[in-house]
Structure 1
C-alpha cells in the first residue's frame, strides 16, 4: 500500500532521514521502533508532506504522492495521529470529531460517529465537554477517533502511548489491534514502547539515526538479543503489567 523509497528529509541544513526504505502492506500493522531522535516522527511527517522529501519518493498504491500538498494526501486516505495528540483543546469532543470529517461526505458522519463511540465509549458522555479537560488517555482516544472519522485506508500513529499510565497504554494497544482486526485497517505505528509495539506488529523495523538498520516480523524482533538489549530490558513488566 505505502512504499517509501530512498527518502531523505530534514529541517534546513540538518538531514534527519538518510535514504529510508520501508513498505507498509495492506491490512497489516507495521511498526517502526527507535530511540527518541531517531527520525521516526520526521518520517511520518514527510509521508504527510511536511517536511518535503529532498530525495527519493513516496508511493501510495503506486501513485507518487511525494510532492502533493498535505490536504491532498489526506484526501487519498492517509490519516495522521500526531505525537502529543494535538486535539483542539477549546473545542468540544464532538467538534473535534467533526473536524476529522472535513474532507469526507457529511452523509457518513452519523454512522462514523457511532462507530467511533463504540470503539471509545469513554468519549460518549463527554461529547459536550471541551477536549482540553479530558485526561491524557481520553485525549489520545479523541485524536484516534478524529482520524478514523476521516475514513482512512492508512492510519499513521505517532507514539500513541506517550505519557499514559500502563493500564491505559494496554487499553490503547488493544484498540489498535481491534481496529486492524475488525476493520482491516492498515496501520503504520511509530513507538518508543518497543515491547507493546512489537507485540502488536505483523512486521517491524528498527530506526537508528535516520536509517533503517533491522527488519523482521514483530515476533522475530522481540526475540532478537540485540533488540532486547537496546529496547526491551525491563520494558515488558512496565508496559504490560506484572509478568
Structure 2
C-alpha cells in the first residue's frame, strides 16, 4: 500500500515504539501498558496530530479488546461443558462480578445477558468517541487524567474538577486504564443497554458489528443527543480510511 502521509515527527516515532514495546507478548502477559497521555499539542493540528493520536490509541484499544475476547471465547467454550472445575467456577464468578452480574454457579448463569456484556467494542467507535470527547487527546481531562471519553464522577474530591461547575471527571493512572473503564462502561451501564442489544442482535445474525451500526445506540452518551450522533458519524466518515490504513500498518509491523 502506498503511504502518502507526511513523515512522522520524533515524538510520534517515540510514542509508536514505546507502545509497541509494551505490547509484546512477554510483557502483555505480565502487566498492562503503564504510560500516561503525552501532550499531543506538540503536534500541529491536522494530519500530524491525527497520526500521533491513532499511533497511540490503536494498539491499546486492540489489547483491551483482546482481553475481552479472551474472556468471551472462554465463556462460549464453557457454556456447554457438563463438568466445571473449582478454578473455572472462580473465573466465571470473577467475570460476572466485573460485568455487574451475579453468577452463583454455572447453572444460574443467564448466558445471553452475560455474553451481551462480555463483548468487544469496534475500534473505530472507540477512536471517534475519544476524538470527540478529548479533542484529539488535547483536553485537560485527557492530559491530566488519562480520560479521553468524557467519563464523569460524582461526590466530593472526585477526579478532576470541571472549573466553575462543581462536577468532576474521572481520573486514571494510565491511558490504558481509561480505555478499559470506557469499554466497561459501555458493557455494563444501563444507559447503553440498547447498544449491547444491537450488538448481540448483529452477532446472532452473523452480521458485521461496526461503528456505523452502533452509533445510533449512543443517544444517551451525551446531552447533545442527535447532534452528538451526527458528530460521531461525521468523524467516522472523515477518518475511517486513515484508521483502517494505520491498523493495517500496525498489523504489518514485525513482532
If the TM-score is normalised by the length of the shorter chain, which range does it land in? Answer: under 0.3
Based on CA coordinates, which of the two structures has the bigger radius of gyration? 2
**Higher RCO structure, 1 or 2 (CA under 8 Å, sep 6+):** 1
More helix by percentage: 2
TM-score (ref. length: structure 2): 0.25
TM-score, normalised on structure 1? 0.26
